[in-house]
Amino acid sequence: MIPSLGGTEYVLGTIWNVERTGGSISVIISAGDATTTVDEVWCRPGWVPREGMVVLLQRQGDGTLWALGPAQESRAHTPALTAATTDPVLGTGGFARAYWTQFGSLIVTWGQIRFGTSGTSAGSGAYRIRLPVNVDTDVNHWSGFTARGHAIGTCNLYDGTNQLFGWVRRGGATGGIDFLNFFVLNPAASGYTTAIVQVTHAVPWAWGANMELAWSVTYPGVP
Ranges under pLDDT 50 in the chain:
1-8, 139-140, 142-148, 190
For the chain, the domain total comes to 2
Closest by Cα among 98, 100, 208 to 158: 208
Same domain, 27 and 87: no
Under a CB-based contact definition with an 8 Å cutoff, are residues 127 and 168 in contact?
A: no
Spatial separation of the C-alpha atoms in residues 120 and 201, rounded to whole Å: 12
Same domain, 185 and 87: yes
Same domain, 202 and 177: yes
Same domain, 151 and 187: yes
pLDDT at 210: 96
Under a CB-based contact definition with an 8 Å cutoff, are residues 31 and 38 in contact?
A: no
Same domain, 96 and 190: yes
Q: Measured between alpha carbons, how far is residue 22 from residues 9, 27, 43, 171, 173 in Å?
A: 27, 14, 14, 51, 49
Residues 6+ apart with CB under 8 A from 119: 89, 91, 92
Last residue of a domain, one of 49, 70, 91: 70
pLDDT at 7: 40
Same domain, 8 and 99: no
Spatial separation of the C-alpha atoms in residues 44 and 56, rounded to whole Å: 12
Instruction: Give the CB-side neighbour count of residue 83, counting CA atoms within 13 A.
Output: 19
Q: Provide the CATH number for the domain around residue 65.
A: 2.40.50
Same domain, 80 and 58: no
Same domain, 39 and 144: no
Under a CB-based contact definition with an 8 Å cutoff, are residues 40 and 53 in contact?
A: no
pLDDT at 6: 37
83-120 burial, b at 16+ Cβ within 10 Å, e below that, comes to bbeebbebbeebebebebbbeebebbbbbbbbbbeeeb
Same domain, 110 and 25: no
Last residue of a domain, one of 26, 46, 70: 70
Write out pLDDT tens, residues 93-106: 999 999 988 776 77
Under a CB-based contact definition with an 8 Å cutoff, are residues 105 and 136 in contact?
A: yes
Whole-angstrom distance between the N-terminal and C-terminal Cα of the chain? 18
Closest by Cα among 46, 129, 47, 131 to 90: 129
166: domain range? 75-220
